[in-house]
Amino acid sequence: MVTKEARRAHLLLVLAVVLVTSVTAVTIKKGGLAEPVKPEKYDHYYNYEELTSLLKALVAEYSHIARLFSIGLSFEKRELWTVQVSSRPGSSSPGLPQFKYVGNMHGDETLSRQLLIYLIEELLRGYDNDPRITRLINTTDIYIMPSLNPDGYEKSREGDCRGEAGGRTNARGKDLNRSFPDQFANIQVPMEDVPEVTAMIQWIMTNRFVLSGNLHGGTVVASYPFDDTPSHQTAGAYSRSSDDAVFQYLAKSYAAVHPIMKTGNPKCPDDVGEAFKDGITNGAEWYDVPGGMQDFNYVHANCFEVTIELSCCKYPVASKLQEEWENNRESLLTFMEKIHIGVKGFVTNSVSQIGLPNVTISVTGIDHDILTSDYGEYHRLLVPGTYNISASAVGFIPVTINGVEVIEGPATVLNFTLEPIVTSGTVAQTEAFDDTVITSTVLSTIAAGKPSQKQPIQPEEFRHHHYSDMEIFLRKYTTEYPKIARLYSVGKSVQGRELYVMEISDNPGIHEPGEPEFKYIGNMHGNEVVGRELLLNLIEYLCKNFGTDPEVTELVSKTHIHILPSMNPDGYEVAFEGDQSGVTGRNNSNNYDLNRNFPDQFVQIVEPRQPETIAVMNWVKSIPFVLSANLHGGSLVVNYPYDDSVQGIATYSRCPDDAVFQQLALAYSERNSQMYNGHPCNDLYPGEYFPHGITNGAKWYSVPGGMQDWNYVNTNCFEVTIELGCFKFPLAKDLPRYWEQNRASLLEFIKQVHHGVKGFVLDATDGTGILNATISIAEIDHIITSGKDGDYFRLLVPGIYKITVSARSYISVTKNVTVVDGEAAQANFTLTRQTWQQESGNKKKNLTPVKDAKDPTAEEFHKLIKDLSSDDGLNQLIFKTAVDVSPYRYRQYKELAEFLKALHLNYPHITKLSNLGQSVEIRQLWALEISNKPNESESIEPKIRYVAGIHGNAPVGTELLLSFAEFLCLNYGKNNAITNLINWTKIVIVPLLNPDGRERAQEHQCTSTVGRMNFQGKDLDTDFTGNASQGTADMQVETRAIVEKLIVNQGFTLAVALDGGSVHVTYPYDKPVQTVENEETLKYLASVYANNHPTMHLGRPGCPNGSDVNIPGGVVRGAEWYSHLGSMKDFSMTFGHSPEITVYTSCCLFPSEKQLASLWGENRKALLSMLVEVHKGIQGIVKDRSGKPVPKATLILDNGMKVFTSDEGFFHAFLAPGVYKIDATAEGYQQQRKEVFVTAKEVAILVTIIFDMDNRIFGLPRELVVVVAGATLSTLLLTACIIWCVCSIKSNRHKDGFHRLRQHNEDYEEEMRMTSLGSKKSLLNHEFQDESDSEEDTLYTNKQ
């Protein structure tokens, strides 16, 4: 049974030989177009331009549920537009199965094109208005491609019902529905002739589509797989797929609600009597179609596709469009809804509870599996019934659930939880392929180590294979053994020949956790051909004996074996048979010895790195190889590292793993008796002797720049060099003898990859693997690192070892492990994360320049920054880099996008590719983040931003940043300095801000302004205007994207912008101002860049347009060079609070591509210097007395610079060397002042600011204010009491007076007389009157 992995591996081969067009996404913000799209009139067809405009307008109007993108280009460079309709456009989300409709595959079958346009409109306008459509969009990820063949459509003619006017095929005359890889036929269509097919294959294989409809024309019927048969009978042969019942169900769902199709009698004029029962048909029974798209979807992907013929007339007149829409609307919606039938669920890891991708979902009795998505999700279409369903994955215990009931309607939910297998020596279960069966008996034999009863099949093809012959041979075996063989290329030779690699494994194409990667490389010297032929023999031997020979089966089942037969195919083509010891063909076609062309640990290799060398280096860094051999000729010996020495002479040059390498070398030589004898070439070198057939490389003779040493020093891979015979290019008749001498050795050497110690490095929290953990052995000065799944393989000789495993942000673990002869010992390490306090505290505290720093990692980084800041520090860094890059051409937008995507795909653990927005012409503005935690936000790490291409006519900066990004990625993990810089920095690279202008600019135009502006004619460097209240509404879309996504509130410490037209650096401000705050720091930053450039610091650019200009130090304030408003660096300073400099990289705006390499050489060191400088200045945390971080605190330096703390209270500010006073303020806290001293060569000074609550009220001490307030309140209360008492007494006396007047008039009169004798005030003043009583009041009272 052929598995999905094998099919995908086979498809990767198809895609490897063509340049796959990248997917270009188009996201149009709502409101991007002024007016809504007018209602459809169903009265005409849309040509390509109208289609493009309409789709853009629709997506602009409904951007909350729609996204427009292109999967590639047609042969005539028309976009293959696709609309995604989803409640979550722009993403592939768990729970939303992917559905697609594809139309107009045959350019003259045009009804589908129009109906899919109408369907898009129907879905978009029905959302939130039609409950059925709303439910469909909320539960489905829908993709609609109106035209797969826009070139053909443009040639077709309205009213042409039979296709006589042309347009069926693409622009190269190829029928797209006969050009896909086929399960029953060898389709011989050059893929470069069908870019539409290439793009579609790429799209299908990189998604997890569940259901699809391919819309055609010419009759009215729904056709289902298979479309052809092995015999290719013209018609009448029913070709049943494993899911025949499901396909019939799906086809009927469309036909049953179509008024014509359901009758089964379309009555087409060309064949009135043609009938289809229930309106459906098996494709091959109708007529044989090899190379069709519907079968490809089913065989090679998860997708079930049905082909739907919509009308008898291929290109009906426009007056029929509304009628046809009404005939098909219900069918189109009903078919889409069938994506929700069957069974669905998630497969998760029992340890981590994380979804498992690429798990095989099998249904008993149905020979067709599907795979889970990246989230562990699956959707398996099934008709109602009861099923036994299994989930299996490499490294996990398979699970089967019996009696799963599937009913009519929504899918049954069925989740799986798989338990991982982490045991030593486990042989993965291997399914049978083709007609070869691995029986339980054979597997038992393998496990027991018993000899096989059957003799292995020996190779038959003993001849010298020239390039074409070798290419056919390799394709033959990957075709005949797709289950275990995958052919791919790692690059090209100087003359353009592919550097083919055959991978042989039971699961080729993917790294299986716990299974080591091994490689053989042959023919590095083109005239040393025995290795080339032996490796072809080995490929044949492994393929033919897998499944029948226990030794081969075990090797292939437990090992990923990669075989590169010829690293120097150009040299081979000029070499000649019979050459015993010559040099013709030894070197590559540039006449360089490839085994002297690798970076060396002792010697600087000055020769330019060759394409073959670069390809192999990139390959080795992309796969976690454990063991390797490089096959040569001219002697008979196994040679191990080191190949050269510090002295550069023939002397034993011992590497840290000398004992391991001797064991590896002996494993090969012991099984080659002639080699083991040690006297290889008596005729040529009578005195030469190698004890036991092995030798230390440098002891034999010194080889600087060799490949084997580079592998050991720069990767996890241990490599030896094997000299296979004294005759470099022997006669073909002698080749069988070489095979017999080396067969056992070749197999035994592969087995060595399973010796030593192996295991997993796991996170204690969730059980997931930890990438790039370091595995170190006490007393062996050579570390290796873990892979992306946390697995590691460390080759060792038998013994007891103290092994320490460390990873950043984790607590190291040490174990004693016993290694025995035979299978590798299993040693798993579970690391516990440091707490937040430990991690942030250690990391930041130990960055301070103190000598008692406890964290050795931080102390090491502090020393690194100091070393790199020395006069020769950066030069040494560059000298020690494992690999350099050399830009040699300009990249247009599409290639730039492909390059960035490729970087992310190849280095996913240190990169994050983001789309900031889009240009006016719908080109994406890409941002690449490089850091060791690209998906996490770490406020404690400084952030630096590199931006280029703000002016499209100055693309040098773009190419420099692309090279810079690749340079950093290539050297991560290989160069200690670069690795640490990436680990401790957030680097964001935006290589092209003005892609529309770039597309119009022309090479060799040194002063032309064509392309300087964006599509709207705006100079983007004058568009960064406005303030916080005005917002970004009036900005250009490119400017707005940068401002919102990259400048405001993003916390960058530094920014560097690259432009052209001179050779100098400018610092803020570009606008004319009287004084510049923080000018000393800004000027210093610009000077650092200029001083690390070989000529910039001289201050005389010597440009033809201003050759007499003198710029002292190569640095000038922006306004003094070109004064203007609205610049990016001014905006960055004012609103992003980040210093930004602009670097002018070359006098010519758009120089020849031949100058790119030298421009890269000039700017590489300066670009790196910014990564060093971003770590300087001051950094720290602001918190209160309780230890709680204080966010949004303001730090004002005495030079006027303002810095704001993050939400976690962290801050970082770049400063020129000097003494600074820092005033820190925050609402509710007392102002704090600190004084710091910043040096030029040290890591940023750590500043901890602790705030006290602000005790001042109205500017006075809190205690004084409280006392005064208390006294005042007491006085007020006392006064109030007195007033109350007085008023009470007064009121009582008044009442008593009236009483006396009434009852005792005489006594009262007597009293009045007594009163009148004295002062009338005395009594009142002492007894009644308060201070508020007036004299009139007193008199009035007396009168009562």
- Distance between CA atoms of residues 344 and 238, nearest Å: 30
Give strand pairing partners of 242: none
CA–CA distance, 467 with 702 (Å, rounded to integer)? 31
Q: Which two tokens stand for residue 239?
A: 């070709």
Nearest to 1148 by CA among 1020, 1059, 1022, 1015: 1059
In angstroms, the Cα distances linking 926 to 455, 819, 909, 1236 are 58, 49, 18, 39
- Phi/psi region, residue 767 (left: phi>0; alpha: psi -120 to 50; beta: rest), is left
The closest of 772, 652, 780, 651 to 712, measured between CA atoms, is 780
Q: How many helices (H) and strands (E) does the chain have?
A: 37, 51
DSSP state of 430: -
In degrees, rounded to 5, the angle at the alpha carbon of residue 1117 between the alpha carbons of residues 1114 and 1119 is 130
Long-range contact set of residues 767-772: C-beta below 8 Å, sequence gap at least 24? 767/349, 767/351, 767/352, 767/420, 768/352, 768/354, 769/513, 770/807, 770/810, 770/831, 771/909, 772/807, 772/808, 772/909, 772/932, 772/973
48 vs 24, 66, 106, CA distance in Å? 17, 20, 15
Q: Do 988 and 1046 touch, CB atoms closer than 8 A?
A: yes
> What whole-number distance in Å separates Cα of residue 562 and Cα of residue 519?
5
CA dist 1003 and 1151 (Å) reads 6
Q: What is the DSSP letter of 807?
A: -
The tokens of 467 are what? Answer: 């390039």
Structure tokens at 138: 């909320």
| Amino acid of residue 928 | L
d(CA 506, CA 678): 37
**Looking at 1022-1139, which runs of residues are DSSP E strands?**
1054-1059, 1064-1067, 1115-1117
357 Cβ neighbours under 8 A, 6+ residues apart: 371, 372, 373, 374, 375, 376
* Residue of 61, 309, 719, 941 marked catalytic: 309
Give catalytic status of residue 723 as yes or no: yes
Determine contact, residues 599/620, Cβ cutoff 8 Å. Answer: no
3-state SS class at 1021: helix
Residue ranges in 1043-1179 assigned as alpha helix (H): 1079-1091, 1118-1121, 1128-1135, 1156-1173
Whether residue 309 lies in the annotated active site = yes
Inter-residue contact 210 to 340 (CB < 8 Å): no
Catalytic residue among 723, 941, 1038, 1173: 723
Provide the 3-class DSSP secondary structure of residue 344: strand
At residue 777, φ and ψ (nearest 5 deg) are -110, 130
Cα torsion 1040, 1044, 1045, 1048: sign = positive
Tokens representing residue 1034 in the block: 């009036």
The residue among 795, 830, 801 whose CA lies nearest residue 813 is 830
Per-residue tokens: 966: 């690749």
Contacting residues for 349 by C-beta, under 8 A, at least 6 apart: 355, 356, 396, 417, 418, 420, 767
Locus of tokens 């060397």: 1217
Phi-psi region of 279 (alpha: psi -120 to 50; beta: other; left: phi over 0): left
Could you give the residue numbers annotated as active site? 309, 723
